[in-house]
Amino acid sequence: MASTKKAPLDPKKTLEKIEEQFEMFQILNENGEVVNESAVPDLSDEELQELMRRMVYSRILDQRSISLNRQGRLGFVAPTAGQEASQIASHFALEKEDFILPGYRDVPQIVWHGLPLYQAFLWSRGHVEGMKIPEGVNVLPPQIIIGAQYVQTAGVALGIKKRGKKAVAITYTGDGGSSQGDFYEGINFAGAFKAPAIFVVQNNQFAISTPRDKQTAAKTIAQKAVAAGIPGQLVDGMDPLAVYAAVKDARERAINGEGPTLIETMCYRYGPHTMAGDDPTRYRTSELDNEWEKKDPIVRFRKFLENKGLWSEEKENEIIEQAKEDIKAAIKKADDTPKQKVTDLISVMFEELPHNLQEQNELYKAKESK
């Protein structure tokens, strides 16, 4: 007779043990005080100021993009305010030779990586000139298909590895994106091939109107790394120093041949999902908005820098003015770009046009020359 002794199965405990290990990594608290001294990254005073400059600039770019959209001068705009630490501080840990595979909200990172601002504006308008990315700027067009950039990143990272380059491919998606099949395929493949990839999930708590707790039963998104056999890190995405340190660490391991990392940045978008018309008051409470605004990355970092004597109102105002001037010049340059023709759109798709597109191209060429 078979033994009636119960096997000591406890898969629930296994899960709990895994989940409790995913603690949120933080260096600066909401008051800009260092709470994790040993983790403070080695950045010079100038670098700290530069990081702040870029976050302030990004906030202004967001505000101006929203108003340009309202004036009908921009097309697609996905607001970024609240996500500056997740976006700018993660980018700050990269090098020029690294590749960025952005989602639609990640325009600031690709602009800081070298995409001229007027081209980002043209992209917003759906103009083909927007994504003719200059030589040497390692950026792919922002992905609209949720999560697709994760699979592409595994491929780009494998390519980097095969060429023996000391660089990484970094990609961004959202909490919603982490539910897509592409998310799992990307992290799994990169893990299997130890490809130098950094997978960032900017968990801004909502996928349009769907809250994070309806997205997954998992306690954290970072723990999804466990199934792919890669390191996962949960980070305070409103803390620029923590985000910077986590990405820097992931980058170092990646270029040392140790493979990819999944990083979840806990953050919030203050604005709507996009400027296409969703109303956040229909799916968020003002209490929740207020709670997150207290964690603001720029306020927090300003306090930190002021305490070190590295920041002033004057300095910040100069940056704001500079950003506004740059944006004005960039929108003018976008306006001055010749209007897109149908043949521009057709001819940009292939190096050599297939037969049917050649026919269409000829047809439109004739129309456009009238």
Ligand X SMILES: Cc1ncc(C[n+]2csc(CCOP(=O)(O)OP(=O)(O)O)c2C)c(N)n1
Q: Which residues are known catalytic residues?
A: 269, 273, 283
Residue nearest Mg ion, Cβ-based: 174
The residue among 231, 94, 237 whose CA lies nearest residue 169 is 94
Tokens read off for 247 = 């990405």
Please report whether residue 84 would count as binding Mg ion according to CB under 5 A: no
Provide the binding-site residues for ligand X, judged by CB under 6 A. Answer: 105, 144-146, 173-177, 202, 204, 206-208, 273
Smallest distance from ligand X to CB 345, Å: 21
The residue among 257, 251, 145 whose CA lies nearest residue 198 is 251
188 interacts with, out of ligand X, Mg ion, none, CB within 5 to 8 A per kind = none
How far is 287 from 289, CA to CA, in rounded Å?
Answer: 5
Q: Pick the closer one to Mg ion by CB: 41 or 174.
A: 174
| Cβ 174 vs Cβ 204: under 8 Å | yes
Stretch that binds Mg ion, among 134-142, 200-208, 294-302, 310-318 (CB under 5 A): 200-208
| Cβ 77 vs Cβ 124: under 8 Å | yes
145 interacts with, out of Mg ion, ligand X, none, CB within 5 to 8 A per kind = ligand X
251 interacts with, out of Mg ion, ligand X, none, CB within 5 to 8 A per kind = none
Smallest distance from ligand X to CB 267, Å: 9
Please report whether residue 62 would count as binding Mg ion according to CB under 5 A: no
Smallest distance from ligand X to CB 182, Å: 8
186 interacts with, out of Mg ion, ligand X, none, CB within 5 to 8 A per kind = none
Cα separation of the two ends of the chain: 92
Burial 324-336 (b: 16+ CB within 10 A, else e): eebbeebbeebee
Smallest distance from ligand X to CB 50, Å: 25
Residue nearest ligand X, Cβ-based: 174
Q: Pick the closer one to ligand X by CB: 142 or 174.
A: 174
Q: Pick the closer one to ligand X by CB: 28 or 234.
A: 234
How far is 331 from 337, CA to CA, in rounded Å?
Answer: 10
196 interacts with, out of ligand X, Mg ion, none, CB within 5 to 8 A per kind = none
Smallest distance from Mg ion to CB 19, Å: 21
230: Cα within 13 Å, side-chain hemisphere = 32
146 interacts with, out of ligand X, Mg ion, none, CB within 5 to 8 A per kind = ligand X
Q: Measuring CA to CA, how many Å separate 285 from each of 21, 161, 236? A: 30, 46, 21
CB atoms within 10 A of CB 202: 29
| Cβ 150 vs Cβ 187: under 8 Å | yes
What would the 3-class secondary structure string for 77-119 be? CCCCCCCHHHHHHHHHCCCCCCEEECECCCHHHHHHCCCCHHH
Smallest distance from ligand X to CB 263, Å: 15
Please report whether residue 103 would count as binding Mg ion according to CB under 5 A: no
CB atoms within 10 A of CB 140: 18
Give the one residue of 90, 188, 204, 261 binding Mg ion; rule: CB under 5 A: 204
Binding mask 169-188 for Mg ion (x = CB under 5 A): -----xx-------------
Q: Pick the closer one to Mg ion by CB: 26 or 205.
A: 205
How far is 96 from 337, CA to CA, in rounded Å?
Answer: 27
Residues in touch with Mg ion (CB under 5 A) = 174-175, 204, 207
